[in-house]
């Protein structure tokens, strides 16, 4: 690489690193104060930077909000691709995904889970489409594609039922299970009848029902 190209590469690497630091700081602050109450100055203060530096990379707060959401959903995409790469049957991969969603309501994971839930509400009520929102939806589509490929493998390895529309069923199950686990993370406990069940117990019960449903029928 010639000196000019090396300089350009180092400059771009430095810019990407600074943007990453800003997005990580914004995620921390948004998790505490929420999107509406957080100011760009709050994020600058978290990093001990001048606010002009924040605006240089993110001219509008909405652009930074979407960048944070993309950063969060990319972690989910990495999870799905990691599970998809396992040397396991489709049934075992589905079980691994359910286990992840159950772990997602642990205290150390709550901030990330809540942030994504709030973002989707924020985006859906925005008067105009948020800048860079297409990039966010693209990653969601990549997650859906990865799930579809896992399901297609299941139709071949015989680990899940073939007498159902597997793609529709499993997509619905994953969406419902993920949504419910995120709701539990927001409200911590949802009362059933007169007693309140531990969220982990609720999710384990639902996981058992779903896993039994997709299991191949004997005989």
Query: How many CA atoms lie within 13 Å of 199's alpha carbon, on the beta-carbon side?
Result: 22
Residue 64 has pLDDT above 90, yes or no: yes
- Fold of the CATH domain 61-214: Tetracycline Repressor; domain 2 (1.10.357)
pLDDT (tens digit, 9 = 90+) per residue, 80-100?
999 999 999 999 998 998 888
**pLDDT at residue 190 is higher than 60:** no
Quote the Cα angle for 34-59-139, to 5°: 65
- Angle at the Cα of 45 (from 44 to 47), degrees rounded to 5? 70
CB 107 within 8 A of CB 98: no
Q: Which residue has the tokens 């007498």?
A: 163
Per-domain residue ranges of the chain: 1-59, 61-214
Measured CA to CA, the distance from residue 175 to residue 108 in angstroms comes to: 22
Which residues, other chains included, contact 166 with Cβ-Cβ below 8 Å and sequence gap of 6+?
151, 154, 155, 160, 214
Domains 1-59 and 61-214 share a fold: no
Give the strand pairing for 191-192 and 195-196: antiparallel
Q: Which CATH number fits domain 1-59: 3.20.20.10, 1.10.10.60, 1.10.1060.10, 1.20.870.10?
A: 1.10.10.60
Q: How confident is the model at residue 110 (pLDDT cuts 50, 70, 90)?
A: low
pLDDT digits (tens, 9 = 90+) for 34-61: 899 999 999 999 999 999 999 999 999 9
DSSP category for residue 191: E
10 to 14, 155, 164: CA distances (angstroms): 6, 47, 53
Mean pLDDT of the chain: 83
Q: Is the pLDDT of residue 194 over 70?
A: no
The strand pairing partners of 192, in sequence order, are 195
Q: What is the pLDDT of residue 189?
A: 43
**Are 131 and 48 spatial neighbours (Cβ–Cβ below 8 Å)?**
no
């Amino acid at each position: 690489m010639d000196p000019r190209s090396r300089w350009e590469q180092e400059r771009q690497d430095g810019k990407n690193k600074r943007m990453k630091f800003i997005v990580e700081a914004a995620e921390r602050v948004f998790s505490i104060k929420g999107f509406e109450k957080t100011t760009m100055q709050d994020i600058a203060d978290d990093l001990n930077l001048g606010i002009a530096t924040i605006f240089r990379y993110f001219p509008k707060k909405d652009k930074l909000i979407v960048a944070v959401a993309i950063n969060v959903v990319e972690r989910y995409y990495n999870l799905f691709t990691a599970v998809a790469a396992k040397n396991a049957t489709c049934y075992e991969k589905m079980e691994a995904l359910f286990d992840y969603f159950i772990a997602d309501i642990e205290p150390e994971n709550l901030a990330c889970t809540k942030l994504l839930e709030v973002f989707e509400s924020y985006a859906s009520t925005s008067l105009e489409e948020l800048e860079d929102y297409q990039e966010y939806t693209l990653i969601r589509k990549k997650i859906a594609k990865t799930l579809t490929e896992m399901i297609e493998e299941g139709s071949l390895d015989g680990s899940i039922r073939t007498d159902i529309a597997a793609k529709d069923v499993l997509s619905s199950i994953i969406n419902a299970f993920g949504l419910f686990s995120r709701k539990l993370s927001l409200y911590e406990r949802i009362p059933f009848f007169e007693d309140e069940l531990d969220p982990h117990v609720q999710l384990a019960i639902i996981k058992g029902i779903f896993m039994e449903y997709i299991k191949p029928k004997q005989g």
